[in-house]
Amino acid sequence: MMDFSLTEEQQMIYGYGANLAKTFDRKHWLEYADKARFPTDMYQQVAEDGFVGVMVPEAYGGSGLGMMEMGLLNEGLAEQGIPLLSLVIGATMGLSLIASFGTEEQKQQYLPDACSGKTRFCFAITEPNAGTNTIKTNTIAKATNDGRFKINGAKYFITDAAESDYMLVVTRTTPHTEVERSTDGFTLFIVPTKAKGVEMHPIPVSIKIPEVQYQVFFDDVDLGPEHVLGEVGKGFRVLFDALNPERILVGFICAGLGRYAMGRAVEYANERVVFNGPIGAYQALQHPLAKAKTEIELASLMAKKAAWLFDKGEACGGESNMAKFAAAEAACHAIDASLQCFGGNGFTAEYGIFDLYPLARLLKTIPLNNEMVLNYVAEYVLGLPRSY
């Protein structure tokens, strides 16, 4: 039986965002976002408070908790208007994979420093010509005669690449044209971002977030077997374990962003007087907010269900995808309804409501566009024929 009532510890984790916002609030986050600079001071505080390594075993400096706790952490931060995407990409997709698939030497080498905030990870999967079709990854890691590897290729839209110390790079050790099964031949590597042959260029984006996007090039990057995460040629299993967590956390983040927007709107609608009373009394504003609230809470519940299944080790692909889809849609609706409450003020920098929309809209496109999410649900949940 599913039980989503929060333990005292989970309530504390969920409430951490409100406590952090007393020092590092939305205004502080925006100051960094305006300059496209990562809020290192905020991230370091999160690390010192023990929340970067939520899903890392205690033996390696983490908290030894699960996806539910990581989701609640991200939801609580977003609810204060201070989402940290690095907690999704680095702390979850990076550290939890090393904790699950790394050798004992890799766990000892990378996890304690990352949990304490001394080092940071990013995740490199998207490519200019592969995009959603990861099967056609063209970044190749070629084995050399001395048992090492040379990586060549390019990645696109890699969050925090230059600001990180290491990146998990998805490669093919066997080209997709030479494998028996399309998922064969993948290998993940832990690559130092300062390694010889790694080149990065920032990608300007029209979204106000502190995390910078990069195009990354690999030119004969020399790596040893100690840099392989998991087994050579069997990396799709490792990669698969990163995809559901990313979508689950997007669900939690979008739920938080939607609540933040609606909270601001309700406060404004109760105070703003036009004609004979507060505008919050008008059903034309009440109904869109009430509908958005309903959508947000439903999406939040689906994210919790997906996290609950993930922590139990059960299949959660359908729930993860549905949570991501529902929450991204709901967040956009909630911000739009909130923006309407503010009228012209909603588009000013002072009130900062419109600033929320581009990020929420982005999450309808990443980490997987909503159209592909619906394709997944149609094929794997409903049992319809594959459409692509």
Regions in the chain scoring below 50 on pLDDT: none
Torsion, Cα of 380, 384, 387, 388 (10° steps):
30
CATH of the domain at 35: 1.10.540.10
Residues 28 and 66 in one domain: yes
Question: 376 and 250, same structural domain?
Answer: yes
pLDDT value for 210: 94
- Residue 298: inside a domain: yes
Is there a single domain that holds both residue 159 and residue 39? no
pLDDT, residue 243, reads 87
Q: What is the pLDDT of residue 355?
A: 94
Same domain for 247 and 205 = no
Which pLDDT does position 132 carry in this prediction? 79
Question: How would you classify the pairing of strands 166-172 and 121-124?
Answer: parallel
Question: SS3 of 200, please?
Answer: strand
Q: How many residues does the chain have?
A: 388
Instruction: Note whether 371 and 247 are same-domain residues.
Output: yes
Q: Which of 199, 233, 267 is the last residue of a domain?
A: 233
Q: Number of H helices and number of E strands within the chain? A: 13, 10
Are 104 and 169 members of one domain? no
Per-residue model confidence as pLDDT tens digits over 277-313: 999 999 999 999 999 999 999 999 999 999 999 999 9
Regarding pTM above 0.85, the answer is yes
pLDDT at 3: 79
Report the C-alpha gap between 192 and 21 in whole angstroms. 32
CATH of the domain at 190: 2.40.110.10
Domain assignment of residue 329, given as a range: 237-381
Cβ-contact 312, 244 below 8 angstroms:
no
CATH code assigned at 290: 1.20.140.10
pLDDT score recorded for residue 251: 97
Tens digit of pLDDT for each residue in 215-249?
999 999 999 999 999 999 999 888 878 889 999 99
- State which of 233, 268, 303 marks the end of a domain: 233
Q: What is the pLDDT of residue 182?
A: 86
pLDDT in the model for residue 372: 95
The verdict on 276 and 336 lying in the same domain is: yes
* Domain-terminating residue out of 63, 89, 119: 119
Q: Which residues have C-beta within 8 Å of that of residue 371, sequence separation ≥ 6?
A: none
DSSP 171-199: EESS-GGG-SSTTTTEEEEEEETTSTTEE
Q: Are residues 17 and 109 in the same domain?
A: yes
Q: What pLDDT is recorded for position 245?
A: 93
Q: Nearest 5°: CA angle at 186, between 185 and 192?
A: 140
Q: What is the CA radius of gyration of the chain?
A: 21
